Structure 1
Amino acid sequence: MEQTINIEQIFGILRKHSKMIAISTIACTLLAFIVTFFIMTPQYSASTELLVNRKQSSDANVQYNQVQTDVQMINTYKDLIVKPVIMDTVETKINKGNSHKLTDVDEMVSISNNQNSQVFSINVKADNAYTAADIANTTAETFQKKAPKIMSGTDNVSIISKAKPDLTPVSPKSKLNILIGLVLGLLLGIGIAFIRELTDKTVKDESFLTDELGLTSLGVINNIAEKDIIKKAIMSVSSSRLTRRG
């Protein structure tokens, strides 16, 4: 049997389960707050920029070809930087004299560049702002030193901007996480409310029996609350006593 719900019934369901929806919303928002501020580890970002630019020829055509070659070389450099030949040296330098040894430094490093640009960036994310800047600068310096040996004497990499510690974490995004928790809690509460209502097979009114099931109504027995029964019993006893006295 197909069951339909109109707008009035929708608002009725929301009002009926408003307390449960509010509890769900508050609980999920509180959970998002706890996870964001007490469980998730803040991540900090640092970047250093490098320029790929060899000594230019005075010939315009040769100069253009050299620029295009440098731009294409960046793709090779991007792959090379995160390879063990560079990262192993970086990891050794970072951990030298450091009691807290870092592993998988290569997973903290990413490379980015704009299309047709001779500049590319070494980006690092770590749980410490100073560590992130140190890894970015060490990676740039190590690559600049090793690139000519690896690439057969090609010396066209310059560091144009060193990384500086940024004490503002890039993640987690606290406001966004809490907003997501609030919205999910609200949707969860509304979803549970409708599921409970649609799966409730109890008879709620007489029209369901007569219109939906085609049965004949023989009468309606009203439900009387226990407190009303007690109240009426007390009133009945009091009235009986007054009658006897009269």
Structure 2
Amino acid sequence: MLEVNDIHTYYGDAYVLQGLSLKLEQGQILGLLGRNGVGKTTLVNSIVGFNPPRRGSVVFKGEEISRQSSFETVRSGMGLVPQGRRVFPTLGVEENLLVAERSPERHGWTLERVYALFPRLHERRNQRAKTLSGGEQQMLAIGRALMTNPDCLIMDEPSEGLAPIIIQGLWEAIGKLKEQGLSILLVEQSAHLALKLVDYVHVMSKGQVVYSGTPQNLLANEQIKSSYLGI
């Protein structure tokens, strides 16, 4: 579904991603873990097209996309749930969803289906997004991405700043997306949350992947957990 091959990404003169590679298989949830500042969001920006890599390639469904603009990447089937939600604050809930709507013929995501996944959004459908709680805004950000009917969904720190009971509901929803076969790249700082969902995991440090393996193997590796995840 998605291949990142030896990418090198900069912010000005700052060398952030230093030869990073990963592969997301069809129907898989791939976890990307690491502490703050290691380059996780830079990787997301490189994939989506906000900050393209200077070297290396990003291949999505067999097509090179590393020189595409972000709207072309989304049009090709990449959905993004950005860090910090970034909903449109002055638009209503339903307006936020409809503004991202693309043909449901791809995967069948409609307003009704998003509301079935997140009933709270249906209850709040006429409220402005800025009046929602953090958890409701995160539901809206996920629902908005699903309305693009993506083949692949990138989720950047979806648990950030949320209460445990809200996170539990979100994780149940992501689990349902997994059951439906959606390919997901889950970027998380919280390892114990991510490892409940992912099929395979990469750990990042200083712009590189320093560990790759199954959730079970990572849980058993005390050195990696201590050195790179603070566990």
TM class, shorter-length: under 0.3
User: What's the TM-score, normalizing by structure 1?
Assistant: 0.24
> In terms of Rg, which structure is larger?
1
User: What's the TM-score, normalizing by structure 2?
Assistant: 0.25
Q: Relative contact order: is structure 1 or structure 2 higher (C-alpha 8 Å, sep ≥ 6)?
A: 1
**Would you tell me which structure has more helix in proportion to its own residues?**
1
